[in-house]
């Protein structure tokens, strides 16, 4: 079964307040089976436009990634991200 991923492209607009999002989303998403495989770090955009920060969270399946994103506890914390950053969140199925 293919893995599922939550991919975030983010530009933080309020770094102090955004820290709360990072502190609170991690235990929720890991408890739901997520594994952070990219979280910030060096990046470059050789083509197109991009945000400043990139996050990739791997799940055992696309359905698990979707369920984690839809989880009420995560959605409550996601409101912090929505207030403190400009972001694009993508759910994607991997290859087998």
* CATH code (residue 63): 3.30.70.100
Confidence of residue 73 (pLDDT cuts 50, 70, 90): very high
CA distances in angstroms from 94 to 1, 12, 31, 62, listed in the order given: 9, 27, 21, 8
pLDDT of residue 40: 85
pTM of structure: 0.92
Work out the average pLDDT over 10-34.
Answer: 95
| Domain, as residue range, for 20 | 4-93
Q: Is the dihedral of CA 16, 20, 25, 27 positive or negative?
A: positive
For the chain, the domain total comes to: 1
Q: State yes or no: pLDDT of 6 exceeds 90.
A: yes
């Amino acid at each position: 079964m293919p893995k599922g991923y939550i991919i975030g492209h983010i530009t933080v607009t309020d770094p102090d307040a955004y820290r709360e999002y990072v502190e609170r989303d991690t235990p929720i998403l890991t408890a739901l089976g997520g594994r952070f495989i990219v979280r910030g770090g060096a990046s470059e955009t050789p083509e197109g436009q991009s945000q400043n920060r990139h996050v990739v969270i791997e799940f055992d399946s696309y359905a698990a990634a979707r369920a984690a994103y839809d989880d009420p506890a995560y959605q409550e914390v996601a409101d912090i991200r929505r207030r403190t950053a400009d972001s694009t969140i993508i759910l994607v199925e991997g290859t087998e």
